[in-house]
Amino acid sequence: MDKKSTRDGFGIGIIEITQKDERIVAISADLAESVRLKEFKEKFPERFVECGVAEQNMATIASGMANYGFYGIICYF
């Protein structure tokens, strides 16, 4: 098994689980590059939400999505 940084592993992992479950949505606070979501955004643009620098809104959006059966993954440090 190759060792990867936590960020690289997260980027790879979120793509893997998203390919298996269409209810997963990635939510970012202007940190897509830092948490390795570039490839995710390219593969699943309709399942990526950019909140800008408004971390409190990420939790609100994820909660709202949960009410409709989605899994909002908050992608932050």
Edge to edge, what strands does the sheet with 71-75 contain?
A: 48-50, 24-28, 71-75
CATH code (residue 13): 3.40.50.970
Cβ atoms of 37 and 13 closer than 8 Å: no
Of 18, 52, 47, 17, nearest in space to 32 by CA: 52
User: What is the predicted pLDDT for the residue at 77?
Assistant: 81
56 is a domain residue: yes
1 is a domain residue: no
Q: What is the number of domains present in the chain? A: 1
21-51 residue pLDDT tens = 999 999 999 999 999 999 999 999 999 999 9
26 is a domain residue: yes
42 is a domain residue: yes
- Is residue 2 over pLDDT 90? no
Residue burial 24-36, b: 16+ Cβ < 10 Å; e: rest? bbbbbbebbeebb
57-76 residue pLDDT tens = 999 999 999 999 999 999 98
Residue 44: which domain range?
A: 6-75
User: In 3-state terms, what secondary structure has residue 52?
Assistant: coil
45 is a domain residue: yes
